[in-house]
Amino acid sequence: MTEPAPPPPAVAVVPPGDGGPAGARRTSPLVVLVHTVTFKQARQVVPAAIPLVAAIGIDGPGVVVALVAAVTALSLLFAGLTWWRTTYADTPSAVVVTRGLLARSVRTVPNDRIRGVEVEAPALHRLFGLVRVRIDAAAGTVAGSDEEVVVDGVPRAEGDRLRVSVLTHRRAARPVPAGADPSAAPEEPAEVELARFDPRWLLYAPLVASYLAVPLAAVGALSRLLQELPRDLRPDLSGPDLSDVRVLVVAAVAALVLLAIGAVLGAAVVNWGFRLVRRGGSLSAVRGLVTRRHTELEVDRIRGGTLAEGLGMRLVRAARVNALVTGLGAASRRGQLFPLGPRGEAVRLLGLLVDDPGPLRAHPPAARRRAVVRALLAGLAVAAAGAALQATTGFWGLLALGVVLTVLSVPLGLGRYAALGHAAGPRSFSVRSGLLVREQAVLQRRAVVGWQVRQTFFQRRAGLATVVACVGAGTGGYAAVDMAAADVAAFTAAASGPWATASGPGDRPAG
Amino acid sequence: MTAPPAPPVHEPAWQLSRSAIWLWVTEGVIGTLVYGVLVGVGVLLVPASVGGPVPVLRWLLPVLVAVYAVVAIGVRPWIRYRVHRWEVTAETVHTLTGWLTRTWTLVPVARIQTVDVTRGVLQQLYGLASVAVLTASSQGTVRVPHLEVAVAERVAEDLARRAEQVRDEAT
């Protein structure tokens, strides 16, 4: 980073006895300015302020100026009080954050429950040389947003110190292997670069649904804003002559080009300068144009990864890789290791996370029949409903949709079947499925905490079964859909251990 | 496709308590009563002269309730009892549940995180309890429904103790 060094009064050490533990620190006072500008704390009083303002009424520029001044002063006051009452401390055993204006809250996260540390620098923070540190606690212990502890607004150097300190403490919190020197200096180990973003990869963005959604959402928000403007402020544009075909074609092409540019820009903002490095026992990813994010993942907790390819991405052989990390819970964004790039590069990276279990085995022909029949039945059902609707109300849209779906059902079913596959290697296994977004999960053998085998009535008749590997990471389960029922026991045993065949009856406890 | 296909995995050995049948029958009776009252009120309050699909619904809905009653009271409890199986071996907990869709769940004792015993209102009536074996995965939960209370408690205690002894990382 090339930002200017932060001013010296970096970290104020709070005298003990203020509720926090010894060595508690405050965030940088500069964060008061950031929060004043963003109204971070003052936002909470907005609902109360609106009726007040409505009662006073807004007439004349004087009142508006006074109002702006009052709101800014209020925001400054809240930000200052919050800064004054918030301290954090990284002790050898835990991270403690104390906050609250009147009702004090002390959050203690033991070091062995910390799953990762993320240092991010939003644009405004960067202006003041500040960063925000997010510390991920183990999921499942507390619900929702409480999974992380945020230390907002420390100088960059202090943020990096905190990250290294928390990570080294956490390593020390684990049992030291026999023969290792526990007093060995916890130095920052050498970095190994695993992946680096190539700006050319941004050209894939217009083919990825999630990036296409960015400009669409912007257009939606803009049009809503326009509609809420008072009528006399709206620009008085006479609409172009829509009856001319050439105008329509030009407009459509322009819209597509704008959409593509928007998608590329959106992808650039999120992924610019992406870099994945391995540093000792952790993986560290940096990305972002405006907000720089710095994510840390522990290699020991990685159980595998997923390789996802959307419909558009398959056309240009692009892919995305996510790591499956135990205890990360819903914070799956953190697990993203390779946001967007060529498939070969993605496969190479996935191979670094987990051994390649070998080529996937296709599922039996009965699975193909089932996929096509299901797609056909769905199309016919929509068509039948559409025909009934057409007969009663004359609306033909649903009928047309049903006919199109029925015609497309064979390629859809075949596409769904082509995605299916499973493989078990000596130390890992893999399953793949998905219609539009094809997702392949590659997991280590030790990741499996259980198996679930499902057979519907029709699967039983066709000799198929769906096998779900239950893992304590990612979505919690990854399925091999419609594999041959006769292969299930061999697959589960090969992918986890001999226990998975579950033979040999025990003694039922007497009632 | 003539012979019934072999199960994809080993069948667990033990059946549930026989009282489970009567509990499912009770559930079917309660469900039938609820639907019956709803449909009865509907038929009484909405006259056939409203038109549209109402004249058809006036006889279709009672027929559906009658079919539901036969299935939920007379058929489903017995099929469920024949399908449901469970087993605890030295290494695993294993269940087979379902009715039309069969689900086998298999969890090694080493990966068990917690074991819960719950007793619902109806279960207390029949002296039954359910055991839920939870793992780190939200999808890897083994539920053994409707065991005798004494059996459920013994199983839960035994599993919790053994999980404590052999637990590796549990994730």
For testing the chain B interface, which of A468, A470, A481 should be mutated: the one with the most B CBs within 10 Å? Answer: A470
Q: Are residues B40 and B62 in the same domain?
A: yes
Q: Are residues B109 and B161 in the same domain?
A: yes
Residue B3 belongs to a domain:
no
Among candidate residues B67, B82, B97, the one where a domain is terminated: B82
Closest alpha carbon to A208 in A509, A473, A437: A437
Strand order across the beta sheet in which B128-134 lies = B114-118, B128-134, B142-148
Length of chain A: 511
Q: Are residues B67 and B98 in the same domain?
A: no
**Pairwise CA distance, residues A368 & A418, whole Å:** 8
Q: Do A492 and B7 touch (CB under 8 A)?
A: no
Domain A30-173: top CATH class: mainly beta
Under 8 Å between Cβ of A320 and A336:
yes
Q: Are residues B70 and B96 in the same domain?
A: no
User: In the structure, what pLDDT confidence band is assigned to residue A99 with cuts at 50, 70 and 90?
Assistant: confident
Under 8 Å between Cβ of A305 and A322:
yes
Which has the higher per-residue pLDDT, A229 or A145?
Answer: A229
Which chain B residue shows the shortest CA-CA distance from A503? Answer: B10
Q: Are residues B74 and B97 in the same domain?
A: no
**What are the residues facing A450 on neighbouring strands?**
A470
Under 8 Å between Cβ of A451 and A500:
yes
Least confident of A40-44, A98-102, B5-9, B42-46: B5-9
Of B8, B94, B135, the CB nearest to A470: B135
Which chain B residue shows the shortest CA-CA distance from A487? Answer: B8
Under 8 Å between Cβ of A94 and A109:
yes
**What are the residues facing A464 on neighbouring strands?**
A484
Segment A469-497, tens digit of pLDDT:
998 887 888 999 999 988 888 898 888 88
Residue B60 belongs to a domain:
yes
Among candidate residues B82, B98, B118, the one where a domain is terminated: B82
What average pLDDT does this structure show over A373-386? 91
Q: Which domain, by its residues, includes B142?
A: 86-166
Of B101, B140, B150, the CB nearest to A449: B140
Under 8 Å between Cβ of A74 and A40:
no
Note whether B12 contacts A: Cβ–Cβ < 8 A: yes
pLDDT in the model for residue A246: 83
Note whether A462 contacts B: Cβ–Cβ < 8 A: yes
pLDDT in the model for residue B38: 94
Q: Are residues B135 and B121 in the same domain?
A: yes
User: Which residues numbered 136-165 in B keep a CB inside 8 Å of some CB on A?
Assistant: 136-140, 142, 147-148, 150-151, 154-155, 158
Q: Are residues B65 and B102 in the same domain?
A: no
**Pairwise CA distance, residues A510 & B18, whole Å:** 14
**Pairwise CA distance, residues A484 & A365, whole Å:** 9
Q: Are residues B76 and B92 in the same domain?
A: no
User: Which residues numbered 253-312 in A keep a CB inside 8 Å of some CB on B?
Assistant: 301, 303
Chain B hits for A501, CB-CB cut-off 8 Å, are: 9-10
* Residues in Cβ contact with A348 at an 8 Å cutoff, skipping those fewer than 6 apart: none
**Pairwise CA distance, residues B90 & A336, whole Å:** 39
Strand order across the beta sheet in which A130-137 lies = A148-155, A130-137, A114-121, A292-298, A282-287, A275-279, A191-196
Note whether B101 contacts A: Cβ–Cβ < 8 A: yes
**Pairwise CA distance, residues A291 & A300, whole Å:** 28
This complex has an ipTM of: 0.86
Q: Are residues B100 and B149 in the same domain?
A: yes
pLDDT in the model for residue A239: 57
pLDDT in the model for residue A17: 45
Q: Are residues B110 and B75 in the same domain?
A: no
Note whether A175 contacts B: Cβ–Cβ < 8 A: no
pLDDT at A388 over 90: no
DSSP string, A253-289: HHHHHHHHHHHHHHHHHHHTT-EEEEETTEEEEEE-S
Segment B92-147, tens digit of pLDDT:
898 999 888 989 999 998 888 888 888 888 898 899 999 998 888 888 888 998 99
DSSP string, A95-138: EEEEE-SSS-EEEEEEGGGEEEEEEEE-HHHHHTTEEEEEEEEP
Note whether A341 contacts B: Cβ–Cβ < 8 A: no
Chain A hits for B108, CB-CB cut-off 8 Å, are: 449-450, 496-497, 499-500
Q: Do B100 and A462 touch (CB under 8 A)?
A: no
pLDDT in the model for residue B64: 95
pLDDT in the model for residue A419: 92
Q: Do B106 and A326 touch (CB under 8 A)?
A: no
Among candidate residues B64, B82, B100, the one where a domain is terminated: B82
CA distances, B137 to each of A327, A336, A446, A449, B134 (Å)? 10, 20, 13, 7, 8
Residue B171 belongs to a domain:
no
Q: Are residues B51 and B93 in the same domain?
A: no
**Pairwise CA distance, residues A461 & A455, whole Å:** 9
Backbone φ and ψ for B131, nearest 5 degrees, come out as: -115, 130
Residue B6 belongs to a domain:
no
Q: Are residues B70 and B100 in the same domain?
A: no
Number of domains into which chain B is organized = 2
pLDDT in the model for residue A502: 52
CB neighbourhood size of A340 (10 A): 25
Q: Do A450 and B135 touch (CB under 8 A)?
A: yes
- Sequence spans of domains, chain A: 30-173, 365-418
Q: Do B8 and A509 touch (CB under 8 A)?
A: no
Tell me, what DSSP letter sits at residue A140?
T
Interface size, chain A vs chain B, as Cβ–Cβ contacts under 8 Å: 148
Q: For residue A296, give how far its alpha carbon lies from the nearest alpha carbon of chain B (Å).
A: 20
* Residues in Cβ contact with A156 at an 8 Å cutoff, skipping those fewer than 6 apart: A1, A3, A6, A121, A129, A130, A131
- H helices present in A328-364, as ranges: 343-353
For testing the chain B interface, which of A443, A499, A507 should be mutated: the one with the most B CBs within 10 Å? Answer: A499
Q: Do B137 and A472 touch (CB under 8 A)?
A: yes
Q: Do A473 and B171 touch (CB under 8 A)?
A: yes
DSSP string, A187-228: --PPEEEEEE--GGGGGGGGG-HHHHHHHHHHHHHHHHHHHH
**Pairwise CA distance, residues A182 & A174, whole Å:** 11
